[in-house]
Amino acid sequence: MIELKGIAAASGISIGPAYKLGKEDLVVSKEAITWADIPVQIQLFEEALIKTRREIIELQKRISTDMGQEEALIFDAHLLVLEDRMLIEEVISRLKKDQLNVAFIFSEVLKKYISVFSQIEDEYLKERTADINDVGKRILRNLLGKEKIGLGDLKDKAIIVAHDLSPSDTVAMHTKKVAAFITDIGGKTSHTAIMAKSLEIPAVVGLEGITAQVNSGDILIVDGLTGIVIINPDEATLRAYQQKLENLKGIAEKFLAVKDLPAITKDGRTVVINANIEFPDEMSSVKLHGSQGIGLYRTEFFYMNRKDSPTEEEHYEAYKYVAEQMKPYSVVIRTLDLGGDKFLSQFKIPHEMQPFLGWRAIRFCLARPDIFKLQLRAILRASVHGNLKLMYPMISGIEELQQANRLLQEAKDELKQMNLEFNHDLKVGVMIEVPSAALTADILAKEADFFSIGTNDLIQYSLAVDRSNEKVAYLYEPTHPAVLRLIKNIIDAAHAANIKVAMCGEMAGEPSLALILLGLGLDEFSMPPQIIPELKYIIRAVDFKVAQKFAQEALQLSTGTEVEKLAQERLAEVLK
Ligand code: PEP
Ligand code: MG
């Protein structure tokens, strides 16, 4: 039995067999062939290409039915790789020249392609490496006559063990055969971790070297709450975790019982508990968990994994759907936040040394009014179908907010000219996720309808800790006194200007921090849907006055560790 600790990324406990992804290392032997064998080898290659094409189309169909067309578009890029004449011709010409078996030739050509593409500076071309790798492995497996090894083929629920996960792997987890996943790299608020939460799959990331320690078939325990992973547990440990799992089920039922009740403290302070979504098809989970609205709709996932950009109509339809589904509750649409760790293949964003500090989010949108206004027009048009609001990401000062609002005004004028309807009173919020915005919140509050604190970024920028880097994850502390002071400053400035403050970073969904945030005066919490019942339960169990006292106590402490300890103790007192 081996016990390891990684970064808890998505809560829940899973016990089951390991399934190692991408590390099966297909062994390709090098075999000489004769001139006469060449037609047969070419035929094998063609059959492998056809079989691979069929598999991808099949997978695409399944994903399209299960998750929607948008997610299925990822596989268009894979199909394009299959049709790459250069790759196919190089294999055939080397086959004739070297007279070696086609599987070996293909694996050599594939290696060359991957190495060339991964060294290219251009982000668009660089991104193709993952597609080439994915498809190349499929072709190779078919050439070797092996069964395709992929998530789509999982027969029983298994725990995925991977170095990292590609977008297509993560999307394919929707098939529900994945019990949990663990990876070598990644941080708590990385893209993969956020996806795991929205798919409700327990996950532990940043387990450096885990892929070297686990074999497919090993029994694993994954505790997504503590970040503990146990390889081949002994009987006693297995029993202890099975018991813990049972207890968790009981606790979940207790929380679910309050999911449709208001989030009101014992002494009558009401807050709003909203959901974060990435895709419109999450609406059923949002409703199931008793959400009072959508506090963050991350629209950049709409642009991801496709070759073209979504049209204004596509944007409009998606926002209209979400608005209608949530009516009368509100839906906050966050405008395009690309850059940082989210790159889109359609827009040729230059490779930057510090992408999180570079041409990201609102900075990109202000420089590309064509792309930005298309989205703004769609949001405005959809606003007549429900209670929509919009917010801008990564605002660092008032001038950026004013510039964005000028473009919003232009978008409104364009719609007026076209006689298209929109809500003239659409509320416009600002995400506070850059320290300069947090420190000038009083200035921003004068021109914003509401704030939403993006702690995932606010923490990384204020503590200078890359949110997706496991090496510095120990420094990523939501409870750091600097973070608490910034949050207090934001809330106080907003309330002085009579506007509401929401929080949509992962910190808002940390049960142990709920009391402090409530006590600091936060008005709205937005989080992955499945945490909502627990948060409601906590809020309903406490007096606002008591939470205010906890918050004051927390503000007096000197370290994140002390705050964390206090938060855990106080939560236990309230829930006992
Ligand atoms: C945040 O930064 O806290 C946030 C909610 O936005 P994202 O995680 O998409 O950067
Ligand atoms: Mg952010």
Short-list 550, 442, 433, CA closest to 503: 433
Task: Evaluate if residue 133 carries a pLDDT over 70.
Answer: yes
Quote the pLDDT of residue 346: 60
Quote the pLDDT of residue 349: 67
Q: Is 298 in the pocket of ligand 1 (CB under 6 A)?
A: yes
Quote the pLDDT of residue 23: 47
Reduced to 3 states (helix: H, G, I; strand: E, B; else coil), residue 375 is: helix
Rounded to whole angstroms, the Cα distance separating 434 from 419 reads 38
- 190-210: average pLDDT: 84
**Most informative mutation of 279, 357, 457, 527 for ligand 1 (most atoms within 8 A of CB):** 457
Reduced to 3 states (helix: H, G, I; strand: E, B; else coil), residue 334 is: strand
Q: Which two tokens stand for residue 368?
A: 């590309």
Beta-sheet pairing, 13-20 with 387-392:
unpaired
Catalytic residue numbers? 191, 504
Residues 159, 19 contacting (CB under 8 angstroms):
yes
Quote the pLDDT of residue 273: 98
Ligand number nearest CA of 334 is 1
The residue with tokens 């719609």 is 415
| Dihedral pair phi/psi, residue 201, rounded to 5° | -115, 125
- Could you give all domains of the chain from N- to C-terminal order, each with its CATH number? 2-22+151-230 (3.50.30.10), 35-144 (1.10.274.10), 263-532 (3.20.20.60)
125: Cα separation from own chain's centroid: 23
C-alpha distance from residue 99 to each of 37, 44, 57, 171 (Å): 9, 15, 32, 40
Residues 430, 395 contacting (CB under 8 angstroms):
yes
Quote the pLDDT of residue 352: 77
Rounded to whole angstroms, the Cα distance separating 296 from 176 reads 25
Residues 389, 331 contacting (CB under 8 angstroms):
yes
Quote the pLDDT of residue 147: 40
Cis status, amide bond into 328, omega within 30 of 0: yes
Rounded to whole angstroms, the Cα distance separating 57 from 50 reads 11
Instruction: Give 455 Cα–ligand 1 centroid separation in angstroms.
Output: 7
Task: Evaluate if residue 150 carries a pLDDT over 60.
Answer: no
The residue with tokens 């668009």 is 124
Residues 353, 123 contacting (CB under 8 angstroms):
no
Surrounding ion ligand 2 within 5 Å at CB are 433, 454, 457
pLDDT tens-place string over residues 424-455: 999 999 999 999 999 999 999 999 999 999 99
| Dihedral pair phi/psi, residue 178, rounded to 5° | -95, 120
Ligand number nearest CA of 301 is 1
Rounded to whole angstroms, the Cα distance separating 15 from 11 reads 13
Task: Evaluate if residue 148 carries a pLDDT over 50.
Answer: no
Mean pLDDT of the chain: 89
Residues 73, 306 contacting (CB under 8 angstroms):
yes
The residue with tokens 């694996």 is 107
Q: Which residue has the higher pLDDT, 167 or 257?
A: 257
How many residues does this entry show for the chain? Answer: 576
Listed in sequence order, the residues at least 6 apart from 555 whose beta carbon sits closer than 8 Å to its beta carbon are 481, 484, 485, 488
Instruction: Give 516 Cα–ligand 1 centroid separation in angstroms.
Output: 20
Of 57-71, 374-388, 415-429, least confident by mean pLDDT is 57-71
Of 72-86, 316-330, 369-383, 561-575, least confident by mean pLDDT is 72-86
- 109-133: average pLDDT: 77
Give me the amino acid identity at 30.
K
Rounded to whole angstroms, the Cα distance separating 361 from 299 reads 11
Which atom of ligand 1 is nearest the CA belonging to 300? Answer: 9
Listed in sequence order, the residues at least 6 apart from 64 whose beta carbon sits closer than 8 Å to its beta carbon are 71, 72
